[in-house]
């Protein structure tokens, strides 16, 4: 059907970059799991956590002085030691990635997109690889599994949920990015407009699909386009 490019084998440099990016993502997942365990121990002990970040300076003070049973204290202290070690490893692999990409035009360009910082930009660059293997931005969105399933008969066409095929990390990065953007941005307006009619999840996916199209042009051209808000909105900041 010509919808997707032929199979592509990433060169060694891209495979190495992917390895670093994926390893960092796994480390972050492990760290998040440990933080959840600490929250669970405190909740079971009836400890109220009044701050938004339990692992910031204020939270560290609470964890040091809160009264816990010996069993709970041992679990919390163990988790905190492991979190400190993971903090070091996450930062280390973050530096490896950013140093590798510090002169990459596409990597630098897509960080101007709302919701995308150095970490998510690295995910896009590493996982997508050679952007030239995609002829159109729609192919990238399809490869990321952000296009709806398509069922067609003689008389009807039915579009279902997204395929979720292709790159799980690119799909996650796109969805993660658009969930945090302001409603004043083009992507935020797409998300909120679709969400008003079809629900939050569908709105987020619609915005994520549009984000992958912007990523396509940013990686291909080393610059961005279409960052203005939709023409239908006369009040939003056009430079958002």
Residue 228 has pLDDT above 60, yes or no: no
Mean pLDDT, rounded, of the chain: 86
C-alpha 220 chain-centroid distance = 20
Per residue in 92-143, pLDDT (tens digit) is 999 999 999 999 999 999 999 999 999 999 999 999 999 999 999 999 999 9
Identify the pLDDT of residue 7: 67
Question: Above pLDDT 90, what percent of the chain?
Answer: 74
Contacts (Cβ under 8 Å, ≥6 apart) of 38? 54, 55, 63, 76, 79, 80, 83
Identify the pLDDT of residue 50: 85
Identify the pLDDT of residue 8: 77
Question: What is the pTM assigned to this prediction?
Answer: 0.81
Identify the pLDDT of residue 157: 41
Identify the pLDDT of residue 15: 95
Give the domain ranges of the chain: 11-102, 105-240
Per residue in 65-81, pLDDT (tens digit) is 999 999 999 999 999 99
Residue 3 has pLDDT above 50, yes or no: yes
Identify the pLDDT of residue 133: 92
**Distances, alpha carbon 109 to alpha carbons 77, 140, 169, 208, 239, in Å:** 42, 17, 20, 17, 16
Helix axes 12-44, 168-179, angle to 10 degrees: 60
Identify the pLDDT of residue 168: 87
> 163 exposed, middle or buried (CB, 10 Å; 0-12, 13-18, 19+)?
middle
């Amino acid at each position: 059907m010509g919808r997707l490019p032929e199979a592509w084998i990433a060169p060694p440099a891209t495979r190495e970059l992917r390895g670093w990016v994926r390893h960092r993502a796994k480390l972050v997942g492990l760290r998040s799991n440990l933080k959840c365990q600490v929250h669970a121990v405190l909740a079971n002990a009836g400890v109220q956590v009044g701050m938004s970040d339990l692992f910031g300076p204020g939270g560290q003070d609470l964890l040091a002085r809160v009264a816990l049973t010996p069993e709970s204290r041992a679990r919390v202290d163990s988790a905190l030691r492991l979190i400190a070690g993971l903090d070091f490893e996450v930062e280390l692999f973050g530096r490896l990635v950013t140093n590798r990409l510090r002169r990459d035009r596409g990597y630098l360009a897509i960080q101007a997109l709302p919701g995308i910082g150095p970490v998510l930009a690295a995910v896009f660059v590493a996982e997508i690889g050679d952007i030239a293997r995609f002829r159109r931005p729609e192919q990238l969105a399809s490869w990321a599994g952000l296009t709806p399933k398509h069922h067609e008969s003689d008389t009807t066409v039915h579009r279902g949920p997204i395929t979720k095929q292709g790159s799980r990390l690119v799909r996650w990065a796109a969805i993660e990015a658009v969930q945090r953007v302001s409603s004043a941005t083009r992507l935020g307006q797409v998300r909120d407009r679709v969400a008003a009619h079809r629900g939050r999840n569908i709105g987020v996916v619609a915005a994520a699909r549009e984000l992958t199209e912007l990523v396509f042009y940013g990686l291909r051209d080393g610059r961005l386009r279409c960052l203005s808000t939709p023409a239908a909105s006369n009040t939003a900041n056009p430079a958002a």
